[in-house]
Amino acid sequence: MRYYILASGSKGNSTLIQSGSTNVLIDCGTTKKYLSETLSTIGFSIEDIDALVVTHSHKDHISQLKLFKDIPTYSTFETNHQIQNIISAYESFRVNDLTFYPIALSHDSEDTLGFIIFDGYEKLVYVADTGYIRDQDLLHLVDANYIILESNYDEALLMRSSRPYMTKQRIMSDRGHLSNHQCGQILQQIITKNTTEIVLAHMSQEANNDEVALATVKSYLEALDYEGTITCSQQFKVVMGGQHD
């Protein structure tokens, strides 16, 4: 399995999951120009996408839905697509070589989902845009080879930012986003010796940075002797991983 995080953050989100001949895009919330050009740089086009899977209905995740109107789409809400598949948490679905198991997240958009993805050989976790993860759902995240997990903000940087106080409260709420500390605490509970790659996702450009996020999250992993990689996603730069030739 391979993954390409094309964009991650409040200005747009899109990730390509690839296994065998199957190419599935998670979210399409960036500009048409950026999405098309970025896919091209990694050797893909819109026409190569077998399916679009949508996490939730916020604009930074669905702004380019119209580009995929002729491509099977999986979401919790109705769209104008020709091939519409309504999905629900805890009901798995398959797209060719990839099986998706959705879990319910807690965000200020109804029916927001995270995904555990299998290709018969490896397991990938994709979780972003959530204020917390339910204890019963942590069991589904354990022992993944690859983990893409939200690490949105540093508390001190958020409070010093110019954002309105109401916005800060929303971000830190149970229906907001995961902080660096929360991300580290979750990783402590789900990584195993089979986990080889961790990517910190949906990082705030105003209330976080790579150095702070990595230092915070790594502090939670020190006692675990984690030997894999840990990197940060980027808003406008491709971050890739998985088994590449």
Distance CA 186, CA 206 (A): 23
Give the per-residue pLDDT at 244: 61
Q: Which of 178, 177, 172, 179 shows the shortest CA–CA distance to 216?
A: 179
- The CATH number given to whatever domain includes residue 192 is 3.60.15.10
Q: What is the mean pLDDT of residues 204-216?
A: 97
Tens-digit pLDDT profile for residues 94-110: 999 999 999 999 998 88
Residue 34 CB partners (closer than 8 Å, separation 6+): 7, 12, 236
Domain that holds residue 146: 2-240
Distance CA 74, CA 53 (A): 5
Give the per-residue pLDDT at 83: 81
Tens-digit pLDDT profile for residues 142-151: 999 999 999 9
Tokens at 137, concatenated = 């759902």
Instruction: Confirm whether 245 is domain-assigned.
Output: no
Distance CA 117, CA 114 (A): 10
Instruction: Confirm whether 60 is domain-assigned.
Output: yes
Instruction: Confirm whether 169 is domain-assigned.
Output: yes
Q: How many CA atoms lie within 13 A of 128 on its CB side?
A: 31
The count of structural domains within the chain is 1
